[in-house]
Amino acid sequence: MKTVYLDNAATTQIDEKVLEVMHASMQNNFGNPSSTHQIGRKAKSAVETARKNIANHFNVSASEIIFTAGGTEADNLILNNVVLNLGVQRIITSKIEHHAVLHTCTHLKNTQNIELSYVNVDEFGQPDLLHLEALLSNNTTKTLVSLMLINNEIGTLLNTKKIVDLCSAYQALFHSDTVQAIGHYPIDLQKTPIDFIVASAHKFHGPKGVGFAYFKKGFGVLPMFYGGAQEMGARSSTENVHAILGMEKALDIAITNLQRDKIYIESIKTYFIELLKNNFKDIAFNGASSNLQTSSYTILNVRFPFSNAFLLFKLDLAGIAVSGGSACQSGSNTGSHVLLEILKETDTDKTSVRFSFSKFTTKLDIEYTIDALKKQIPSLT
């Protein structure tokens, strides 16, 4: 049976060149970066070189990059710091953020008594800028705005410049969960001065369990846990050297080939949309996920005109890996909080499937998926 992987928004296949770098590091660079002997210093040098190279991709200094175990930890580190360390008393976010942000904000509201506000979003997942400005202008307390650059379920692209301009005008800090964007879109933090961003290597063909948080220079970092005072005192724990070097390599490959891969993956997404429209009646695309200008080229969220709780299971039996929403909610029967927020009530009980693509996706994968869908839902053809 053929296997088709269309769940790249959940995680991506590790690039072979990344595996080579990690394997070499495991063999030849096994020292603890905190050790003072030459083997430890070699590991420390490799980590710091990786930090510098990663920082260069975003036009920032190495001291602004803190290595973490992934995007969720990075979001938590930032959100806890802005409240406990930087004096933020109010957070404005949206109800369609990743749970790494939503649940952390709720926790901070419950434990630190911060004010938590939600900006309205439209049916495409775009924040209402007039509402955001009203929220910012009606408060004088120190505020953080937290809005993700690309929504992980519907692929909506944030109008980052307008958010940056509003935050600047009202002296608010700006944090963006950029997990779905890094490695797929260029981010120059001098041209687009976001205060805090995050990354997770497994979203751009790197290893799982490693990422980073970017703290704009001038913001001290209070650690969430204590021990060895690694990462300039911001994150205790022996650095995951092999994974960090793998992330560095994966990011370098992604950014070097960004435009080429973007053109290719856009062609895959366009081809899939065409085949879906040509082969199935009454399907719809959630948010703006079918629009290549306003949504990520890696994500397509399709809504079928029926409710079929077994569609994902049957696709899995056919060898096709997809998601019904965020992979972080796998096994949950509560439904997608994103779709519940943006869809009309009459559409929320219909079956939606998130298909997400990478440089390894082929047109044959797309054709095989269309054929499998035809077998499962012949009444729509």
Catalytic positions: 328
Nearest to 183 by CA among 89, 248, 111, 94: 248
Nearest to 143 by CA among 158, 127, 132: 132
Helix (H, G, I), strand (E, B) or coil at 65: strand
Kindly provide the residue ranges of all beta strands, DSSP E only, lying in 265-341, ordered along the sequence.
Answer: 284-285, 299-303, 320-321
298: left (phi > 0), else alpha (psi -120 to 50), else beta?
alpha
Long-range contacts of 99-104 (CB under 8 A, 24+ apart): 99/326, 99/328, 99/329, 99/337, 100/71, 100/72, 100/75, 100/76, 100/177, 101/75, 101/146, 101/148, 101/177, 102/337, 104/75, 104/76, 104/79, 104/80
